[in-house]
Amino acid sequence: MLVLILSLIILGVIAAIAGSIRYAHLHKKVERGELEKMPEVKMVTDCGADSCAVEEGGLCELDCILNNSKDIEYYDDEELDRFKGRESDAYSDEEENEFREIFETMLPKDVPGWVRSLQLREIQLPNAVKDEVFLVYNEQIHN
């Protein structure tokens, strides 16, 4: 246990020294005019394809996936296009059941693609169906 703690402390000291050296090196480049200004730090999230920068307001994982593909794929759900632009809390029980029926006949591995397709088509899932869909969605993208 003591070895582990000492290793972590040593690693932290090495990282701090390396950071200080990098900062000094970049600062000298700015002074010599090789760089206009110090580079900014950007957080990046890996979505399994290309990386997406997380800016102020943040990109969620789903948005990142959407940015990597703009091709719309249909899942025998063309009839849902009539809901384009509708808010997720504005569906009737019958309309919610349409979404649920399509979702329940879908293979779990197809759910992330279906969610992407709905997003690209500007169709919001009904609130009553979201929990079920995103439970399966999360299982698929994290496995």
Question: Within this chain, do residues 78 and 137 fall inside the same structural domain, yes or no?
Answer: yes
Overall domain count for the chain = 2
Identify whether residues 40 and 79 lie together within a single domain. no
In a domain, 65, yes or no: no
Bridge-partner residues for 130, per DSSP? Answer: none
50: in domain: yes
Which range is least confidently modeled, 7-11, 12-16, 46-50, 125-129?
46-50
Q: Which whole number is the average pLDDT over 84-100? A: 93
> Quick one: 76 and 136 in the same domain?
yes
Q: Name the burial class of residue 2, with classes exposed (0-12), middle (13-18) and buried (19+) by CB atoms within 10 angstroms of its CB.
A: exposed
Lowest mean pLDDT among 22-26, 35-39, 41-45, 77-81: 41-45
pLDDT at 10: 92
DSSP state of 35: S
- Name the DSSP class of 84: T
Q: Give pLDDT tens digits for 47-89.
A: 544 444 444 444 455 555 555 556 788 888 999 999 999 999 9
Beta bridge partners of 53: 44
- Taking the alpha carbons at both ends of the chain, their separation in whole angstroms is 33
Determine the structural domain holding residue 9 and report its residue range.
Answer: 2-59
Q: Does 24 share its domain with 85?
A: no
The whole model's pTM is what? 0.53
Tell me, yes or no, whether 64 lies in a domain. no
Rounded Cα–Cα distance for residues 123 and 117 (Å): 9
Same-domain check for residues 40 and 87:
no
130 part of a folded domain? yes
Q: Tell me whether residue 12 is in a domain.
A: yes
Contact between 122 and 69 (Cβ < 8 Å): no
* pLDDT tens digits along 99-117: 999 999 999 999 998 998 9
